[in-house]
């Protein structure tokens, strides 16, 4: 009940936006810009001929592959950099320099190295999401409170226990935050990458719809679907914050 009530204002604003959109299109008599209803029929068209699922599947596959690769590299590397001071001092300046370079700037090099197949966007996604996760993991290790490390030292536990029961669980909430950021960036980047090189994916859908006959109803349908999937992906990552052993770090909800 209260959730429904909380959602009410934003639903109202969306409805208002759609109404204004509709009214403006009708009032100006635009031949190209679609009405909301045309977007709906366009979407139905995409669903019926099955291309929508192909595009979504292609985009998600690329994001998943690139993102998981980034996780596999970033988490161990971040832990190592956080724990070993020399590693941090050596690698951190390099990563800090690479981090602010927009993934879009990597596109020409990605095409040069990996061609126009799936490898290019996967590489771009990897590049864009690996740095935030390294940074979060490293700072997670650095911010482990001394009292916990002292307690581990006090009980004289083995190195493997120290890592598996203290360091990694202590950093896990930060890693999850890094993953949320990383996946968000990855989804942004996949669409941009697909607009340039590929013949499948939601980014391609948008560019292709425009180029092949000014189908702006499909452009907008693609945009809305990208937004919705982005929201879903973030929702999936947020589920990770509900794992019992990381709840201590987030707001207490019990």
Partner 1 sequence: MRTKIEVRDVKKGFVSDKGPLQVVDGVSFTVGDGEFVAIVGPSGCGKSTLMNIIAGFIRPDQGSVAIDGAERSQPSAKGILISQQGSVFPWLTVRENLMFGLDGHARREKAELADHYAAIVGLKGFEKSYPHQLSGGMVKRVELARALVVKPEILFMDEPFSALDALTNLRMRGELLRILSEERHTVLLITHDVEEAVHLADRVLVLSARPAKIQASFEVGLPHPRKLTSPEVQELRVAILHDLGAERPESEADAAPAARVASPAGLDADVVIVGGGPAGAILGAYLARAGVDHTILDKAVHPRPHVGESLLCATTRVFQEIGFLETIERGSFVRKHGALWTHFAEERPVALPFRPIPHLGIEQPWSWHVDRSRFDDALLRHAASQGSRVLEGAQVERVELDDDGRAVGVLVREGEGRRLVRARIVVDATGRGTLLGRQLRLKRTDPSFRQFAVHGWFEGVDRGEADTAEWIHLHVLPGPRAWAWQIPISAGVTSVGIVCESDAFPKAGHDLHRFFSEAVASSPALAPRMAGARPLHALQREGNYSYAMDRLAGDGWLLVGDAARFVDPLFSSGLSVAAESARAAAAAIRSALADGDVSAGAFEGYQRQLRTGLDAWREFIGLYYRLPRAFLSLLADPADRELLREVLQGDVYQGGSFPGVGRLRAEIARVEADPAHPWRAELDENAAKSLVSA
Decide if residue 166 touches partner 1 (CB under 8 A): yes
To the nearest 10 degrees (0 to 180), the angle between helices 216-240 and 51-83 is: 40
Tokens read off for 251 = 């707001």
Distance CA 176, CA 182 (A): 10
Minimum Å distance from CB 165 to partner 1?
6
Site string for partner 1, 58-97 (x = CB under 8 A): ----------------------------------------
Decide if residue 234 touches partner 1 (CB under 8 A): no
Query: Pick from 18, 60, 119, 157: which binds partner 1 (CB under 8 A)?
Result: 157
- C-beta closer to partner 1: residue 99 or 247: 247
Decide if residue 156 touches partner 1 (CB under 8 A): yes
Q: Which residues of 8-38 are buried (b: 16+ CB within 10 A; e: fewer)?
A: eeeeeeeeeeeeebeeebeeeeeeeebbeeb
Q: How far is CA 160 from CA 83, 142, 143, 164, 249, in A?
A: 14, 19, 20, 6, 23
Of residues 119 through 148, those in contact with partner 1 by CB under 8 A are 147-148
- C-beta closer to partner 1: residue 6 or 154: 154
Q: How far is CA 143 from CA 79, 138, 139, 207, in A?
A: 12, 9, 6, 45
Minimum Å distance from CB 213 to partner 1?
55
Minimum Å distance from CB 140 to partner 1?
12
List interacting residues with partner 1 (CB under 8 A): 147-148, 150-158, 161, 165-166, 169-170, 172, 244-249, 252, 254
């Amino acid at each position: 009940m209260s959730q429904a009530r909380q959602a009410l204002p934003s639903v109202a604003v969306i409805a208002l936006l759609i109404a204004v959109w509709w009214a403006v299109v009708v009032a100006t008599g635009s031949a190209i810009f679609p009405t909301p209803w045309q977007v709906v029929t366009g979407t139905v068209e995409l669903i019926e001929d099955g291309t929508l699922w192909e595009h979504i599947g292609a985009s998600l596959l690329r994001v998943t592959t690139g993102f998981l690769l980034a996780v596999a590299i970033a988490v161990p590397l971040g832990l190592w950099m956080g724990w070993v001071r020399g590693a941090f001092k050596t690698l951190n300046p390099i990563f800090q320099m690479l981090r602010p370079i927009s993934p879009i700037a990597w596109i020409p090099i990605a095409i040069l190295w990996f061609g126009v197949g799936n490898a290019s966007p996967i590489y771009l996604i990897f590049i864009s999401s690996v740095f935030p996760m390294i940074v979060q993991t490293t700072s997670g290790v650095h911010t482990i409170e001394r009292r916990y490390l002292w307690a581990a030292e006090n009980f004289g536990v083995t190195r493997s226990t120290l890592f598996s029961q203290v360091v990694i669980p202590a950093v896990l909430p930060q890693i999850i935050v890094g993953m949320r950021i990383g996946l968000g960036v990855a989804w942004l980047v996949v669409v941009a990458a697909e607009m340039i090189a590929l013949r499948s994916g939601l980014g391609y859908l948008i560019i292709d719809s425009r180029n092949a006959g000014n189908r702006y109803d499909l452009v907008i349908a693609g945009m809305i679907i990208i937004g919705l999937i982005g929201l879903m992906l973030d929702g999936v990552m947020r589920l990770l914050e509900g794992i019992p052993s990381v709840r201590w770090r987030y707001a207490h909800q019990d």
